[in-house]
Amino acid sequence: MNPEISVEGQLVDNVMRKLENEFSERIFYKNDVNEASTVGILDKKNAEEERESIKKDIAKALLVSNQTQSIYFVVRSMIMTILGAIITLAIFWQLGTINVLEDFVLGISTYAVCLVLSRLFDKRIVSFSKRIIAYLGGHTKLRDFIVKNF
């Protein structure tokens, strides 16, 4: 099971439990349920509507958060891929050709170098990624395409 899904599920459960407690404190009941006042019934209906509205808002917020994390992962992966491609191109340019063993070593070393560089320039990569995500925020078709296909 994906740990992120588990955490989000726990978050939703905790928020919903807190909301349920809050709304149950707001609703006024008489001692006898059969003799509930009209005010109590209206308050209960309003509370249920408000509760459903808050549930929907929380679900939307979690969906947007999940989409943003997905887009961030895709953007950061693309940056690392481009960095790896540049390193590989530079090595091919210097060597001309390589054999299978050199290709294997090149792949491993390029991946390691990309990881190290992505950690060294983490702040810059994060700020660049945020700019790209902000740009994608205004282009819903492109953002939805990335979320659905990557």
Specify the DSSP class assigned to residue 96: S
Q: Is pLDDT above 60 for 109?
A: yes
Q: Which residue has the higher pLDDT, 134 or 37?
A: 134
CA distance 75 to 130: 9
Q: Is pLDDT above 60 for 61?
A: yes
Confidence grade of residue 10 (pLDDT, cut at 50, 70, 90): low
3-state SS, residue 21: helix
pTM, entire model = 0.61
Handedness of CA 24, 25, 28, 33 (dihedral sign): positive
- Tell me what the mean pLDDT of segment 125-138 comes to: 88
Q: How far is CA 136 from CA 70, 147, 150, in A?
A: 12, 11, 14
Range of the domain at 131: 3-149
As for how many domains the chain has, the answer is 1
Which pLDDT does position 20 carry in this prediction?
Answer: 65
How many CB atoms sit inside 10 A of residue 114's CB?
A: 19
